[in-house]
């Protein structure tokens, strides 16, 4: 597993406003969307392309287009949904699958309550979206499911990560073709499984509900 922390002043600026508890839900959603697009730019650095012949108004030339099979984008419900538009904006050919996962707030164990994606992901590049890499339980379970279905290149796009979650992913997904792209690896997890300093509950901050 590889981790890539995107170091860019615009990323840091948007992340700081997301962290601020005074930021309201509409602003949070807009900034999360913009931040995902910046992360998506880095996350898709190795997206597969093919050479094509085109004609400009001046001359024939060659260029590149996103190739087939189409990349698959999988937001993890609920909060990953707030990252979908920002991701597919840069990947117009992508197909979208869904994974509904919830973590038990006492045991912090992840369980799946909904799955909607192709059975066979052989040869597919997959981008999985979850704002918070906290304990790592949800992302490890999601990525195992994608690899079981044949995905051969998985990139997790997360707004924030905790060192504990990164360590779990490195241990549990050792030797698998997985990259994590994030805006920050924060200090630690607290006793409730929240990232510190973090930004609170990403789903609640996006949707204003509990």
Question: From the list 134, 142, 157, 169, which residue makes contact with ligand URA (rule: CB under 6 A)?
Answer: 134
Residues 42-61 that bind ligand URA (CB under 6 A): none
Residues 181 and 157 sit within 8 Å (Cβ to Cβ): yes
Strand partners, 77: 100
Please identify, among the stretches 3-11, 36-44, 49-57, 189-197, the one whose residues bind ligand URA according to the rule CB under 6 A. Answer: 189-197
Strand partners, 91: none
Q: Is 144 a catalytic residue?
A: no
How many angstroms separate the CA atoms of 79 and 132, rounded?
A: 9
Q: Is 138 annotated as a binding residue?
A: yes
With b meaning 16 or more CB within 10 Å and e meaning fewer, what string describes 117-153? beeebeebbbbbbbbbbbbbbbbbbbbebbbebebeb
From 45, 107, 116, 171, active-site residue = 107
Beta-sheet strands, E only, within 56-175: 60-66, 72-77, 95-96, 98-103, 110-116, 125-129, 132-133, 153-161
The CB-of-57 to ligand URA minimum distance in angstroms stands at: 49
From 19, 70, 176, 204, active-site residue = 204
Question: From the list 71, 86, 137, 198, which residue makes contact with ligand URA (rule: CB under 6 A)?
Answer: 198
Question: From the list 132, 158, 159, 206, which residue makes contact with ligand URA (rule: CB under 6 A)?
Answer: 132
Exposed/middle/buried for 36, CB within 10 Å: 0-12, 13-18, 19+?
buried
Question: From the list 43, 159, 181, 195, which residue makes contact with ligand URA (rule: CB under 6 A)?
Answer: 195
Q: Is 176 annotated as a binding residue?
A: no
Residues 91 and 72 sit within 8 Å (Cβ to Cβ): no
Q: Is 79 annotated as a binding residue?
A: no
Q: Is 7 a catalytic residue?
A: no
Q: Is 204 a catalytic residue?
A: yes
Question: From the list 99, 142, 143, 202, which residue makes contact with ligand URA (rule: CB under 6 A)?
Answer: 202
Please identify, among the stretches 88-96, 168-176, 177-185, 198-206, the one whose residues bind ligand URA according to the rule CB under 6 A. Answer: 198-206
Going from the C-alpha of 209 to that of each of 77, 79, 103, 205, 206, the distances in angstroms are 14, 11, 17, 8, 8
Q: Is 43 annotated as a binding residue?
A: no
Which residues belong to the annotated binding site for uracil? Answer: 195, 200-202
Q: Could you give the residue numbers annotated as active site?
A: 103, 107, 201, 204
Site residues (vs ligand URA, CB under 6 A): 132, 134, 193-195, 198, 201-203
């Amino acid at each position: 597993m590889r981790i890539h922390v995107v170091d860019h002043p615009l990323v840091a600026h948007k992340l700081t406003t997301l962290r601020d508890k005074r930021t309201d839900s509409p602003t949070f959603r807009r900034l999360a969307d913009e931040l995902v697009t910046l992360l998506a730019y880095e996350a898709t650095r190795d997206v597969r392309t093919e050479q094509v012949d085109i004609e400009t108004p001046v001359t024939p030339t060659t260029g590149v287009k996103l190739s087939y099979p189409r990349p698959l984008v999988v937001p993890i419900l609920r909060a990953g949904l707030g990252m979908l538009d920002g991701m597919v904006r840069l990947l117009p050919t992508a197909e979208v699958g869904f994974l509904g996962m919830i973590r038990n707030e006492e045991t912090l164990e992840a369980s799946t309550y909904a799955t909607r994606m192709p059975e066979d992901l052989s040869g597919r590049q997959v981008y999985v979206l979850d704002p918070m890499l906290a304990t790592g339980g949800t992302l490890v379970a999601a990525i195992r499911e994608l690899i079981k279905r044949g995905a051969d290149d998985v990139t997790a796009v997360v707004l924030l990560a905790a060192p504990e979650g990164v360590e779990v992913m490195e241990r549990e997904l050792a030797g698998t073709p997985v990259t994590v792209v994030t805006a920050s690896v924060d200090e630690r997890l607290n006793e409730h499984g929240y990232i510190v300093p973090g930004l609170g509950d990403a789903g609640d901050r996006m949707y204003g509900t509990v």
